[in-house]
Amino acid sequence: MARRLTSLISVALGCILITIGCAYTRKSASNASDPPVSVDSQLASGALIYAQTCATSTCHGTQGEGIRSGDGFSVWPLIGDEFQSRHPNAQVVFDVVRSGGESNLLALTDQQIYDSIAYQLSQNQITLKSPLTASNAFGTYGGSMSGHSPGGLYPPSNNAVIITPPLTRDLPIAAQNDRLRLQLDQIAQASAIGNVSGTFLIQVIVFDDLDDQPITISPDHLRLATPGGELLEPQSINIQSAIEKFHKRTIKPQHGTVGLVVFHLPAPEDFDRLIYDDGTGERIILALKP
């Protein structure tokens, strides 16, 4: 896998994806999409995924300590302060994992990923009071994880210059129809991305398939509305992030996907609503401002 990747961040991300998703096909004792009945049962299920993919010298290290390169890491650790400082809450960990395109990772339900993250947090001496699920991951943290950190971008980007946090409603922000759920987990403004200057709005969004049929989603159907009614399209600008750019993908029931999207703003704070409309009348609108 590493031979196909072209940047340090891509290598790090690839190994994270392998850690959680690779070669895991067995279901837990209950249905793979059902919330666990207890923390203990969740940790037991999550340990199976983690043990089959994490404890290797070629991925994140036999103890999840990462792979060092000079003064930094070529593969980021899954245990310790480095991991915790890059992920303020459990939902950010999920977002990194779920954004990836590994086939074995895509085979996992969302809940299986939360199960594996629960076990990973236990290895960081973070104690869960209840099983980790989509409903409580954003508020689950401990150790040097900081909790909810509005206006930033996590894990940090290597080439985005983050500026004053934008004024928004409290995160996460979510809306849904009968088929699809859309959630905004992160939002940040940047004055430059790489060598391109301007005012950029960076968002991390999550889609969940609520239907009993696969759903194909695409950035072609996503727009950011300004207060004046202008509709802004996602930009193809190259931002370096452990969370993959939002791209066209088909998701299955009980599965989701995560993507990072960038909009070029006419001016700072000049945004109002995020709109997803696939042309079938299934329109979802997130009101971003208080």
Give residue-wise pLDDT tens across range 53-81. 654 565 666 666 665 667 766 567 788 98
Q: Where are the domains of the chain?
A: 2-139, 160-287
Query: What is d(CA 21, CA 162) in angstroms, rounded to the nearest whole number?
Result: 31
Say if residue 9's pLDDT is above 60.
no
**CA nearest to 166, candidates 213, 114, 203:** 203
Tokens standing for 187? 């939002």
Tokens standing for 281? 């009348």
Q: Which CATH code is given to the segment(s) 160-287? A: 2.60.40.1240
Query: What is d(CA 104, CA 18) in angstroms, rounded to the nearest whole number?
Result: 8
User: Among 21-35, 99-113, 159-173, 238-252, where is mean pLDDT lowest?
Assistant: 21-35
Query: What is d(CA 233, CA 262) in angstroms, rounded to the nearest whole number?
Result: 9
Query: What is d(CA 91, CA 149) in angstroms, rounded to the nearest whole number?
Result: 12
Residue-level pLDDT at 88:
96
Q: Residue 271 — very low, low, confident or very high, per pLDDT cuts 50/70/90?
A: very high
Helix (H, G, I), strand (E, B) or coil at 43: helix
Tokens standing for 237? 């600008």
**Tokens 């995924």 appear where?**
49
Query: What is d(CA 226, CA 270) in angstroms, rounded to the nearest whole number?
Result: 6
Question: pLDDT tens across 225-264, in order?
Answer: 999 999 999 999 999 999 999 999 999 999 999 999 999 9
Query: What is d(CA 44, CA 183) in angstroms, rounded to the nearest whole number?
Result: 29
Say if residue 103's pLDDT is above 80.
no
Query: What is d(CA 59, CA 143) in angstroms, rounded to the nearest whole number?
Result: 24
Q: What is the mean pLDDT of residues 99-121?
A: 88
Say if residue 94's pLDDT is above 80.
yes
